[in-house]
Structures are given as structure tokens and as C-alpha cells.
Chain A
Amino acid sequence: AQSVAQPEDQVNVAEGNPLTVKCTYSVSGNPYLFWYVQYPNRGLQFLLKYITGDNLVKGSYGFEAEFNKSQTSFHLKKPSALVSDSALYFCAVRDPYRDDKIIFGKGTRLHILP
């Protein structure tokens, strides 16, 4: 069965520094991978996705993610963090050949320190 793991419950980064939020996955085939962000008292918002093609995917708000098949990872990155990036981030995965639903990770809370 497909699964996704976010090994860090919380990540703290100083404003202006690069940030990484980690995600690893397990699917039997080629995965579809997603990052979503949730601001306080709001629903989730789509950031970016990897379906096929270039391993480096660029998304909203200056975020990007790199698909690494050998390490089964899809880490979210941003070169220079902003305080407004503080939020809850969810990685999600779908095996397009085996299942018809998307599985979300438990979420990582990102704190950007001024």
C-alpha cells in the first residue's frame, strides 16, 4: 500500500535562511507527489506537484521540491524563508496504477523566526 512519511513534526528556520521540509514515500509504481500548505484556521492550499518530467518542480510562493526516485523523497525547499511561510505543510502521494486516492502525511509545522 502507498504511504508517505514526514519525519519532522516541527522545523525552525531563521528568516532569510534556506528551508527544507522532508518527505519520503512508498509506492509500488511511479508516484504522483504533492505539497500542500495550511495556514491557521484555513483549509489546505495546493503548493506544487510532481507528475512526470523534470525532477525539480517549482510552485507557489517561491517554493520548489525535488523528486529523488532512488531515495524515494520529495523534499520541499525555499532558498530564503519569510516569516509569512510559517504554517503547517503536508506532503501527499498517489500511486496512479494501484489506487484511486491520495494519502497525506501527518504534516510538518514550519516556524520561521524573525
Chain B
Amino acid sequence: NAGVTQTPKFRVLKTGQSMTLLCAQDMNHEYMYWYRQDPGMGLRLIHYSVGEGTTAKGEVPDGYNVSRLKKQNFLLGLESAAPSQTSVYFCASSYTLAGGQETQYFGPGTRLLVL
């Protein structure tokens, strides 16, 4: 049982390049989330998904797109990377957001540097 995994662990991009971050979970969780973590800002929610085929915007969605084609995968895309997107990205998942099942399980993070 791997839990939540993220690919890649580290990436350097040039401004304007595109990339996709992959999150996978093997716990059959309905909910999945993408956060970014920046010094002094804590965790900020980018996008989230309440089930296969559905996505929703979080606090800071601009510049990012997501897709949840399979229940176990949640992809985060950067179409045209900007230096402001330099950050550590965390994926998380949870069973639901009801009945005390809200505990989130986090991946190890992806460190992204945009030059």
C-alpha cells in the first residue's frame, strides 16, 4: 500500500514551458487535492476533486489546470510556467468530507523551480 505518490520529485522549468504533475493514490479515496506551499504562506489549495470526472477551483487556481480521468489519479498541469509558480506542490487525498472521514493523506511533494 503506497498511499499517495507524486511524480516527479523535482523539476526545473524555463519560463513558458509546460509540464504535468502526477498524483496517484491507492486507498480508493474519493477526494483529491493539489496544494502549493510557499514560505510564510502555509498551504494554499489550488484545485480539488470530489470524484472521478469532477474538479473545482481552490484559493489560487490561476495558471493551473487539473484533470481526474481516473479515480486514483489527479493531474496538475502548468501550461506556461512562470517564476511565481516556483513552489513545493503537495497532493492529498481523503475518503470524503463527511462523517469524520476528512483526514487527508499527503504525498511527499514535488519541488518545482521555474527560471
Q: Which A positions have Cβ atoms within 8 angstroms of B?
A: 6, 9, 32, 34, 36, 41-46, 49, 51, 90, 94, 96, 100-107
Contacts and interface: CB of A to CB of B under 8 A. Distances in A.
25 contacts: A6-B42, A32-B100, A36-B106, A41-B109, A42-B109, A43-B92, A43-B106, A43-B107, A44-B90, A44-B106, A46-B105, A49-B102, A51-B100, A51-B102, A90-B43, A100-B56, A100-B97, A101-B33, A101-B45, A101-B97, A102-B97, A104-B42, A106-B40, A107-B42, A107-B43
Interface of B: 4, 33, 35, 40-45, 48, 50, 56, 58, 90, 92, 97-98, 100, 102-109
Contacts of A101: 33, 45, 48, 58, 97
A6 B92 CA distance: 21
A106 B41 contact: yes
A51 B45 CA distance: 21
A25 to B, nearest CB: 14
